[in-house]
Amino acid sequence: MLTRLLIMVWTALMGAVLGYGWAAWRGWRDPEWGALVGALVLSSLLWLLEFSRGLRWLRWLQKGDLTDELRLGGLWAEVAYRTRRLLQREQRQGAQAEQQLRNFLAAIQASPNGVILLDAQGLIQWCNLTAAQQLGIDPQRDLGQRIGLLLRDPGFTAYMQSAEPTQAIIMQGRTHRADRPVRISLQRHPYGEGQQMLLTRDITAVEQAEAMRRDFVANVSHEIRTPLTVLSGFVETLQTLELDEATRSQYLGLMAEQAGRMQSLVEDLLQLSRLEDSPLPDLHDAWKLLPWVESATREAQALSAPLFRGATPQQIRSVVEPALREAEILGDARELHSALSNLLSNAVRYTPAGGVIELHVMGAPEGGLLLQVRDSGPGIASEHLPRLTERFYRVDRSRSRETGGTGLGLAIVKHVMQRHQGELRVESSLGEGSRFSLWLPASRWRVAAPATAEPPQSHP
CA distances from 319 to 220, 257, 379 (A): 38, 35, 22
Alpha carbon of residue 132 to chain centroid:
16
Do 59 and 139 belong to one domain? no
- The total domain count for the chain is 4
Query: 10 Å Cβ neighbour count for 128?
Result: 22
CATH code: domain of residue 359: 3.30.565.10
Q: Residue 306's pLDDT is what?
A: 81
pLDDT tens column, 388-416 = 888 777 776 554 445 556 678 898 899 99
What is the band of 73 on the pLDDT scale with cuts at 50, 70, 90? low
Contact 138, 132 (CB under 8 A): yes
- Using a pLDDT cut of 70, give the percent of the chain over it: 85
CA distances from 156 to 34, 142, 174, 178, 185 (A): 90, 18, 14, 20, 11
CATH code: domain of residue 136: 3.30.450.20
- Grouping H, G, I as helix, E, B as strand and the rest as coil, residue 279 is coil
What is the band of 424 on the pLDDT scale with cuts at 50, 70, 90? very high
pLDDT tens column, 193-205 = 889 999 999 998 8
- Using a pLDDT cut of 90, give the percent of the chain over it: 20
Do 343 and 260 belong to one domain? no
The domain of 273 spans 207-278
User: What is the arithmetic mean of pLDDT over 323-348?
Assistant: 91
Alpha carbon of residue 151 to chain centroid:
24
Do 212 and 335 belong to one domain? no
d(CA 141, CA 124) in angstroms, rounded, equals 10
pLDDT tens column, 429-456 = 888 899 999 999 998 998 875 544 444 4
Q: Name the burial class of residue 224, with classes exposed (0-12), middle (13-18) and buried (19+) by CB atoms within 10 angstroms of its CB.
A: middle
Range list of β-strands (E), 260-368: 286-288, 315-320, 327-330, 356-363
- Of the three residues 202, 224, 239, the one that is the final residue of a domain is 202
Do 141 and 183 belong to one domain? yes
Q: Residue 371's pLDDT is what?
A: 95
pLDDT tens column, 239-277 = 888 888 899 898 898 888 888 888 888 888 888 888 877
Q: What is the pairing mode between strands 114-118 and 286-288?
A: unpaired
d(CA 344, CA 435) in angstroms, rounded, equals 11
- Of the three residues 185, 202, 219, the one that is the final residue of a domain is 202
The CA dihedral of 75, 80, 86, 91, to the nearest 10 degrees, is 180
Q: Residue 422's pLDDT is what?
A: 93
Q: Residue 449's pLDDT is what?
A: 54
